[in-house]
Each structure stands twice: as structure tokens, then as C-alpha cells.
Amino acid sequence: MSIDTLDERRTADAARRAAAAQARVCAEADAAALDGLISVRPRQAGPRPQPVWDDAEVLVHEPVGERYRRLVLASSTIAHTAQAGQFVMLTVPPSGGDRILLPRPMAIHRRRAAIAGTPERPGTPGTIELIYGIVGRGTRALAAVAVGATLQVTGPLGRGFEFAAGAASALLIGRGVGICGVMGAAEDAAALGIRTTMVLSGQRPEQLLGRADCAELGVRVLEATDRDGSSALTTLAARLRDHFDASTPERTPPDVVMVCGAGVLARLAAELGAFWGVPVQASLEAHMACGLGYCHGCAAPVRTDASVEGPLVCADGPVFDARIPIV
């Protein structure tokens, strides 16, 4: 092996180790931030949609910026029934001899209803849009799936975000691919005429997802990035308190806060919710094997008796109530 190749490999190994160490630090901070914060939401008003197992054609599969990929799947049933904040389990087909046993959970970023055909114009199927980052074996194999292929998709799954009757304004907060977790709430808010502001948070401005979706849905955007320090928790909290300072009708504090993308952001949202006296709903992630409540592999980080299992993120969540514990 040449010295150059050896150096490149050492540099790549060091970058991988640094990324893994950073991910561990973030995971520990998230777990600490969620401690005592989360509870299962009261029973939802209407029935939860029945999940289906669909063979969905891949209509679009393309890069989004340098970090993510966008997948549009034809699935009229899921597009029609999915509620904001619900997710699907995607079965990833084998790639390069590598079989991917477990399906992967992905948030439903956008839902678009089927359009009936006319004698002049053919109809279009309902679609769901997912956006994902390549992080491991499953998502690497998923990236190789071609337009026109069929993917097995189960959904819609879990309990999503819900607006209380009479809600007039909402603050949505998403970070990274967590933006996809709350975009469905922006769709519902637009349909219900709820005035919405969304924080789009991420590492760098060019990596922020959701700008075009927010423009389409009439959502006011506040960008927050690590690059300029505006995503730092204290900076963001101060900016949001200032933004919603009740000085004009537009600046009235929101009636609800909905958040997805990091435990530390869920805590920030809960602190803001306590300050404004409004409820907070937080969507969580967990490693999932079935997504259906069978394997019990996705317990939420809720403080309980050590012998009692926490609620399941796939079935009781992924959206939970987030409240600062009273001590």
C-alpha cells in the first residue's frame, strides 16, 4: 500500500472515530435532556388509521443537497390516511449481495392525495415523500434503489401530532431530518388556517431541509445553524422568546409547540411551553425492529421503576407530551 493511500485511510478512520464520538456525546446529552420530560399523550380524539402493507412504486429518488436523499413513493392508501408525524417502515431490498433483514423507520415528510383522472387527463396516485440521510447499511442500500422499482412499505404507524380544537397558532421546531417529522403538522396547520412559524435547524445553511415546503405551505421560517451559532440552545431560546413577545398580534405566543430532531430541543421546547403556558408535543426516535409494537425493542427514555418497561416509541409515540417535571 502506498504512503498516500495509507495516509488517506488513517484520515478517514480518524474522521469516522471523531463522528462516532460526537454522535455518542449528542446521544448522551439527548438522553439526559429527556429525563423526566416525556409522557404518553392522552387518548387521541379520532380512530388511528389502520396500517397497510403496500408495494409502492418509486416515482422520484434524488439527492437533496450534499447530505440527504428524497424518495417519493406511490401509495394512495397511506397518503390518504396518514396523520401528521406518523411514520412508515421501509423494507430495503438486497443490494450487492447484502440482505437487509429489518425494515427501517422513516417519517412521512409530505402526503399528497391522489388526483382522479378525466377523459382528457390521466389521474395520479397519492404519494408519500420521505427524506433520509445515509448513515449505515440499510440507508446505503436504499440509496441504490432505482426509480420505477417497488419498495415494500408498512404504514402509517404510530401516534402523530394533533392540534387541539381552536388552536390558532403553532411553533414547530425541527432539526436535521427531524424537520421531516414535523412537516406533516405544517401541512395540517395550513389546511386548518393555523398561523405557523417553523424553526429549521441544522449544522450548515446549505443542509437545511424544508425551505421550499414551508414556502409552499405559507409557514414563516426561522433558520438556526451551528455554523453561525444561531442553533445554540440559549441563543435560540432567547430569539424565540423575543420573537413571540406579544408586542403585536403576529407576535402572540403560539398555542402549541411541536418539535422533532433532538432531545435537547425537546427540553428547550418544554421550557418555552412552560414559559408561555402552552402544551408541547415532541417526536422521539428509537432503534426499531418491527415498528408495530410486537418486539418491545423501542422503549422510550421515560423514568419508571427499573422493572417496568417504558412506553413504546413505535406504538405509544413517536409523538409524546413534553413537560418540565415539577420537583
Ligand X SMILES: Cc1cc2nc3c(=O)[nH]c(=O)nc-3n(C[C@H](O)[C@H](O)[C@H](O)COP(=O)(O)OP(=O)(O)OC[C@H]3O[C@@H](n4cnc5c(N)ncnc54)[C@H](O)[C@@H]3O)c2cc1C
Write out the residues near ligand X by the rule CB under 6 A. 87, 102, 104-107, 130-133, 135-139, 177, 180, 285-288, 318
Q: Which helix (H) or strand (E) holds 197?
A: strand 195-202
Nearer to ligand FES, 151 or 298 (CB): 298
Query: Which of 111-119, 123-131, 136-144, 284-292 is the region at the interface with ligand FES (rule: CB under 6 A)?
Result: 284-292
Least distance in angstroms from the C-beta of 288 to ligand FES: 4
169-175, strands of its sheet edge to edge = 38-39, 319-322, 280-283, 256-260, 169-175, 195-202, 220-225
Q: Binding pattern to ligand FES, positions 231-270, x when CB under 6 A?
A: ----------------------------------------
Least distance in angstroms from the C-beta of 290 to ligand X: 10
Nearer to ligand X, 130 or 189 (CB): 130
Angle at 209 between CA 189 and CA 15, to 5 degrees: 145
- Supply 298's cell numbers: 423501542
Contact partner, 325, from ligand FES, ligand X, none, Cβ < 5-8 Å per class: none
Contact partner, 294, from ligand FES, ligand X, none, Cβ < 5-8 Å per class: ligand FES
Least distance in angstroms from the C-beta of 9 to ligand X: 21
Strand 195-202, strand 220-225: pairing: parallel
- Cβ atoms of residues 211 and 220 within 8 Å: no
Least distance in angstroms from the C-beta of 154 to ligand FES: 11
289 binds ligand FES (CB under 6 A): yes
- Supply 132's cell numbers: 433520509
173 binds ligand FES (CB under 6 A): no
Least distance in angstroms from the C-beta of 47 to ligand X: 20
Angle at 231 between CA 265 and CA 107, to 5 degrees: 50
Neighbours of 255 (CB within 10 A): 18
93 binds ligand FES (CB under 6 A): no
178, 202, 210, 291: which one contacts ligand FES (CB under 6 A)?
Answer: 291
Nearest-Å Rg of the Cα atoms of the chain is: 20
Query: Which of 46-54, 94-102, 149-157, 285-293 is the region at the interface with ligand FES (rule: CB under 6 A)?
Result: 285-293
150-157, strands of its sheet edge to edge = 104-107, 87-91, 150-157, 52-64, 68-74, 127-133, 110-112
Contact partner, 177, from ligand FES, ligand X, none, Cβ < 5-8 Å per class: ligand X
17 binds ligand FES (CB under 6 A): no
17, 23, 227, 294: which one contacts ligand FES (CB under 6 A)?
Answer: 294
125, 205, 297, 310: which one contacts ligand FES (CB under 6 A)?
Answer: 297
Least distance in angstroms from the C-beta of 24 to ligand X: 13
CA-CA distance, 293 to 315, in Å (whole number)?
5
- Cβ atoms of residues 136 and 33 within 8 Å: no
> Residue 282, exposed/middle/buried by CB under 10 A (0-12, 13-18, 19+)?
buried
Nearer to ligand FES, 37 or 290 (CB): 290
Least distance in angstroms from the C-beta of 229 to ligand FES: 36
* Cβ-Cβ contacts under 8 Å for 194 (sequence gap 6 or more): 163, 167, 168, 169, 170, 188
Neighbours of 10 (CB within 10 A): 10
Enumerate binding residues for ligand FES (CB under 6 A): 288-291, 293-298, 312, 314
